[in-house]
Structure 1
Amino acid sequence: MEIFKSPTGNKLSCKGWQQEGLLRLLLNCLNPDIAKDPEELVAYGGTGKVARDLNSLKAIIEALKTLENDETLLIQSGKPVGIFRTFEFAPRVIMAGALLVPRWANWDYFQELSEKGLTAYGQSTAGSWSYIGTQGILQGTWETFFQVAKRHFGGSLRGKLVLTSGLGEMGSAQPIAITSNGGVAIVVDVDRAIVKKRLISSMIDIMASSLEEACEIAKEYISRAEPISIGVVGNAADAYEAVLSYNIKPDVVTDQTPAHDLKSYVPSDLSPEEARELGKTNPEMYEKIARDTIKRHVLAMIEFKKRGSVVFDYGNNLREQGHRVGVKDAFCFPGFASEYIRPLFCEGRGPFRWIALSGDPEDIYRTDEIILSIFKGDGRLKEWIDLVERRFAFHGLPARVCWLNYKERAVFGNIINEMVKLGELKAPVAITRDHMDAAAVASPFRETEAMKDGSDAVADWPVLNALLNCASGASLVGLYHGGGVGIGYSIHSGVTVIADGSREAQKRLDLVLKADPALGVIRYADAGYEIAKDIIKSAVFPAKAVE
């Protein structure tokens, strides 16, 4: 299969930068440096695809190259279905992905439709063409472990052991996030090739030959209160049970295996290759032994909690999978979002991203300088930029993520557009976000778990978010199903605006980057959170809340 890579530089292959920027983001999702399986169009998250099939991908590429500046391309679950005359300020691309009528919204029925070529699973940022590899999730993971340290250990993980699993596209952020907060990490992954890949790319510090060796190394570094990340090959359930048998009590236990999708979760006693083969030849048996392994996995985490470890679910629906196979108290440990991230959502703070369409890292370093000068009073932001510049190499198109709030996003977005206009950057910049944002997702086992007013499963908010972003003039808007936790468990929306230096882009950015996070503040104020209520009463809040 041909290798897809994003164009770089400032030469257009489309009829405008709005289309060009979206084309480059689409192809960047399939860059072999960041995509899980580009030949299968899978970017990350087990089976998260950027397009339904190869023919659909080629048709999307051709459509973007010929799309006029007053036309809108519609994508139905990874397949282009029509181009409509709209107007210049309308989105150039509108998407719906993996959406099913609730009565039929389950993995089995979805798989039937998928096998017939009628839908595709886009995860979150794969289907919305905004996946940027580990650099996209790193700050959220770093922030989560900071909040864990702040809540339980006086602000630092120094001298603390974190046991976790999963070094895939999302889980690969864990080692740096833990060590940069001072901790010692043992990270288990069933795939030797992935562990080696993370070692080569310096995502982990060392690769142990066995779990026993990993524990011995961890003890040494804990005694010296020095951070280190140790990767080890093994099945998560087996490894967690083994650590329990060693009578070692990690300070923190979590997990980022792809438990949301049983077809991607490797059961005990199988290699990844054996698991893939069994999944093809006997899918019923595969799912049975995968569920058996997940049951042991969850039970081990519950036992760690009983022994005094801080235990939390990192958003992969592991607890629900355990509950479905009979672990009655699977939800006795919390999810990361409700436990550690919710106060940030209440102030409209979330994973704001920008991607240098030039392909030149210097464009990102230049924006780093600017963001530090604008928000120079934010010590946490400076700490983050210093860390990521020092520890993390770019993959695919150079990109940066900062958890900015409802005021900061619009300010910085407009400055980026002005920098493009003045030629301070070599090409336009794509501005987007993760779907894990305040108004962008309804996910009762992750972002909206344990809402104060009980509105965990109310999915109006991401739908309103997508509609509002269309009305505000985003370059791309989409509404999706199942990201993060699997089919049947979430509805979420994505948005992208291309900062091309034009007055039109300035207007798009000003409207979208105010409306998108402000709706999140309103969502949490409506749910009864006092932080959010106070914000919407402030003179600078860019919307009017109706009570």
Structure 2
Amino acid sequence: MEILKSPTGNQLNCKGWQQEGLLRLLLNCLHPDIAKKPQDLIAYGGSGKVARNYECLIRIIDILKNLENDETLLVQSGKPVGVFRTFSFAPRVIMAGALLVPKWSTWETFYELEKKGLTAYGQSTAGSWSYIGTQGILQGTWETFNQVAKKHFGGNLRGKLILSSGLGEMGSAQPLAITANGGVAIIVEVDKSVVKKRLLSSVIDVMATSLDEALDITAGYISRKEPVSIGLVGNAADVYEEFVKKGIVPDVVTDQTPAHDLKSYVPSGFSVEEAAELRERNPHIYEEKALKTIKRHVSAMVSLKEKGAVVFDYGNNLRTQGRKAGLKGALFPSFVAEYIRPLFCEGRGPFRWVALSGDPEDIYRTDEVIKAIFKNDKRIVEWIDFVEKRFSFHGLPARVCWLNYRERVLFGEIINHMVRIGELKAPIAITRDHMDAAAVASPFRETEAMKDGSDAIADWPVLNAMLNCCSGATLVGLYQGGGVGIGYSIHSGMTVIADGTEEAEKRLQLVLKSDPALGVIRYADAGYEIAKEIAKSQSFPAKAVF
């Protein structure tokens, strides 16, 4: 299959920049430097696809190129199904992905339907064409470990050992985020080629092939309280059990393997190649072995927690799989409930922008602007300085920064003005992760342990998607599964193209206020006092009537 690359520059391939921006984002998800398996249309997360199949991809591309400025394309689980005359301010694309009626929302049913060619798993940002590689999750990971440091270790991770696993498309953010907070990281990864890839791209500092080798390396850094990251080749369950047997207790333990999808989790005792062969030959036996390995994996984490480690689930449904394998009890908490929820209450979340020109200078120019307008926010300035030094661009240059509802709209308007006056070489795509305040209902991750017990209420992401349609987002989508799997979450995505026009300015003013403001209302309605105070303030852009 031919690997298609995103166009760059300022020449249109479509009938408008709203369509052009979406075309470029779609193809950017498949850029060989950031996509997991571009030949299979998989961007990340085990099986997160941008289109149902290659024929659907080509058809979507053709439709976007010919889509009028008052038409809307509907995409059903990665397949284009219709173009409708709407109006210029309507979304150019509306999509739904992997949605099943609740009674049938299981992996088994999904796989049956997928095999028949009736659906596709978009993960989160793959399905909504807004995946930007490691950087997309990097600040969220940085924020998480920053909050871990503040809550448990006096504000930094210097001299602390953090054990995690998974160096895939999502997990690869961990070593950078941990070392940026001063810590020492051992990240276990079963695929040696992935460890080498992260080493070559400076995501990790050192590769090790045994736990003893990794511990020898970390000893000096811990004593000197200097940061370092080590990619350890091995199976997570085996390594975590070895920590327990040796009586070595890391300060922090978590995990980012693709445990939500048993077919993507490599069982103990198998190489990556052997696992692939078994998966193809006997998927049922493969899943049984994967589940048994996860049981050992989670049991070891529980043992380390009992010995004093700070242990948390990093949103991959690992605990749920452990319970499915027979483990009982609360096990350990979710990272959102422990560390991220206060940010959601402020309407703060993973705001992203992508330079459609393909020129890194467009991003560096926006870096200068965001540091100038938010110069009094040390957290934002430190983040931009860090990511400029440590992260190289792959695919279309992009940036992510956790901003609240006031900051998003202010920065979005400035970006649109920069495009209008030619300060940027081409329009900017503004989007976000699905892990946002109003964008997700996920009882084992983002909405776990809600104050009012509303963990499983999925009205909010549905309302979020409909509100973004009304507000003028360029793309709006509603999906199932995310990083936790079929049956465990409903989430929404959105993108607005800042093309410098007055219409784009209006779109940005509405979407970038309403999208995060609904998140504040969601948490205010659930009883969080910070959110209540914000929602009642005079500057809040909506009337909260809870």
The TM-score normalised by the length of structure 1 is 0.99
- Residue aligning to 1:371: 370
Q: Is the 8 A contact 2:125 2:493 kept in 1?
A: yes
TM-superposed deviation, 1:272: 1.2
Which residue type is aligned with residue 63 of structure 1?
A: I
Secondary structure at 1:297 match in 2: helix
Q: How many Å apart are 1:3 and its aligned residue?
A: 1.4
Q: In the alignment, what sits opposite 2:177?
A: 177
Distance in structure 2 (CA, Å) of the matches to 1:276 and 1:68? 44
- Partner amino acid for 1:36? K
Structure 1 residue 476 corresponds to structure 2 residue 475: yes
Structure 1 SS opposite 2:172: helix
* SS at structure 1 position matched to 2:94: strand
Please state if 1:295 is matched with 2:295: yes
Structure-2 separation of matches of 1:28 and 1:101: 31
| Cα drift, residue 209 of structure 1 | 2.8
**Partner Cα distance (2:37, 2:288) in 1:** 25
Separation (CA, whole Å) in 2 of partners of 1:164 and 1:96? 33
Return the offset for 1:277. 1.1
The residue that corresponds to 1:539 in the other structure is: 538
Cα distance in 1 between the residues matched to 2:443 and 2:107: 17
* TM superposition shift of 1:98: 0.2
Equivalence for 2:84: 84
Question: CA deviation digits over 1:459-483, x for unaligned, max 9?
Answer: 0000000000000000000000000
1:220 Cα deviation from its structure 2 partner? 1.6
Determine the C-alpha separation between the residues in 1 that align with 2:208 and 2:472. 50
- Per the alignment, residue 149 of structure 1 pairs with 149
In 2, the alpha carbon distance for the partners of 1:349 and 1:207 equals 35
Equivalence for 2:118: 118
Matched residue, 2:338: 339
Specify the alignment match of 1:261 in structure 2.
261
Q: Is the 8 A contact 2:257 2:265 kept in 1?
A: yes
- For each residue in 1:39-82, what CA deviation from the matched residue of structure 2 results, as whole angstroms up to 9, or x when unmatched? 00000000000000000000000000000000000000000000
Task: Supply the distance in 2 between the matched residues of 1:221 and 1:244 (Cα, whole angstroms).
Answer: 22
Matched to 1:534, the amino acid is E
Q: Secondary structure at the match of 2:405?
A: coil
CA contact (8 A) 2:209 2:234 kept: no
User: Which ranges of 4 or more aligned residues in structure 1 deviate by more than 4 Å?
Assistant: none
SS in 2 for 1:448: coil
Q: Secondary structure at the match of 2:350?
A: strand
In 1, the alpha carbon distance for the partners of 2:209 and 2:531 equals 49
Q: Percent identity?
A: 77
CA distance in 1, matches of 2:221, 2:414: 44
Which residue number in structure 2 is paired with residue 438 of structure 1? 437
Deviations along 1:164-220, one digit per CA (max 9) or x if unpaired, are: 000000000000100010000000000000000000000000101322100111112
2:389 aligned residue: 390
The answer on whether the counterparts of 2:146 and 2:155 sit within 8 Å (CA) in structure 1 is yes
Separation in structure 2 between the aligned mates of residue 334 and residue 219 of structure 1, nearest angstrom: 28
Structure 1 Cα separation of the partners of residues 533 and 173 of structure 2: 34
Residue 449 of structure 1 is matched in structure 2 by 448
Q: Cα distance, 1:158 vs. partner?
A: 0.1
**CA–CA distance in structure 1, aligned partners of residues 58 and 495 of structure 2:** 21
Question: In structure 2, what residue type is equivalent to 1:295?
Answer: K
Determine helix, strand or coil for the equivalent of 1:171.
coil
What do you get for the CA RMSD once the two structures are aligned?
A: 0.5
Which residue does the alignment assign to 1:246? 246
For 1:186, the equivalent position in structure 2 comes to 186
Code of the residue aligned with 2:127 in structure 1: it is G
SS in 1 for 2:72: strand
- TM-score w.r.t. the length of structure 2 is 1.00
C-alpha distance in 1, partners of 2:200/2:132? 19
**CA–CA distance in structure 1, aligned partners of residues 394 and 143 of structure 2:** 21
Q: Does 1:529 align with 2:528?
A: yes
Q: Equivalent residue for 1:353?
A: 352
Residue 275 of structure 2 aligns with which residue? 275
Residue deviations 1:418-444 (CA, integer Å, cap 9, x gap):
000000000000000000000000000
The AA in structure 2 aligned to 1:214 is: A
Q: Distance in 2 between matches of 1:285 and 1:97?
A: 28
Structure 1 distance, partners of 2:4, 2:146, is 37
Instruction: State the distance in 2 between where 1:73 and 1:491 align.
Output: 22
Q: Secondary structure at the match of 2:523?
A: helix
For the residue of structure 2 that corresponds to 1:407, the secondary structure is helix
Q: Aligned-pair distance for 1:332?
A: 2.5
Give the corresponding residue for 2:237.
237
Structure 1 distance, partners of 2:111, 2:157, is: 42
State the 1:38 CA deviation: 0.3
Amino acid at match of 2:454: S
SS at match of 1:96: strand
Q: What whole-Å deviation, never above 9, does each CA across 1:96-128 have from its counterpart, x for those lacking one?
A: 000000000000000000000000000000000
Deviation digits for residues 111-153 of structure 1 (CA, Å, limit 9, x no counterpart) = 0000000000000000000000001000000000000000000
